[in-house]
Amino acid sequence: MSSKNKLLVCAAVAGLSVGIVSAASAAEVNCWGVNSCGGKSAGKDKAQCAVDAKHVEAAKKEFGDKYAKATAHKCGAEAKCAGKGGNLNWTKVKTKEDCKKLGGFLMDKEGKIEKL
């Protein structure tokens, strides 16, 4: 194989590797209801940004009083502490299975909830 072909093969393999890593990173999910404190928290499960009114409404409808203290906010730093304390927020986890183990649920941008 010529040097030029070897270089092309190496570049192709490197490109595929980057694509695989990117796809794996993109596979993270937003796990709702398991966060600790707001965005200023140092914990790995700290609240992330943006909870819309439609998310709050959907969670209250689906779970009743479990998220009674939930309010809409635009930034994780504005989030109140702890899903267990009746506040609603989300944190990133690697997989749906990880979210399920933590006792969380999934919710899309429109407020559709998927219990795990």
The residue behind tokens 């209801």 is 33
pLDDT tens profile 75-108: 555 555 665 567 888 888 899 999 999 899 999 9
Q: Angle at the Cα of 43 (from 39 to 76), degrees rounded to 5?
A: 10
- Give the count of domains, the chain: 1
pLDDT tens profile 7-36: 554 555 555 544 544 444 567 999 998 876
- The answer to the question of residue 6 being in a domain is no
- The answer to the question of residue 7 being in a domain is no
- The answer to the question of residue 58 being in a domain is yes
pLDDT tens profile 34-90: 876 654 444 555 556 688 899 999 999 999 998 888 888 775 555 556 655 678 888
Contact 38, 76 (CB under 8 A): yes
- The answer to the question of residue 95 being in a domain is yes
Q: What are the DSSP calls for 73-114, one per residue?
A: BSSGGGPPS-GGGT---EEEES-HHHHHHHT-EEE-TT--EE
Domain of 34 in residue numbering reads as: 28-115
Contact 65, 45 (CB under 8 A): no
pLDDT of residue 75: 59
- The answer to the question of residue 8 being in a domain is no
- The answer to the question of residue 46 being in a domain is yes
- The answer to the question of residue 10 being in a domain is no
- The answer to the question of residue 83 being in a domain is yes
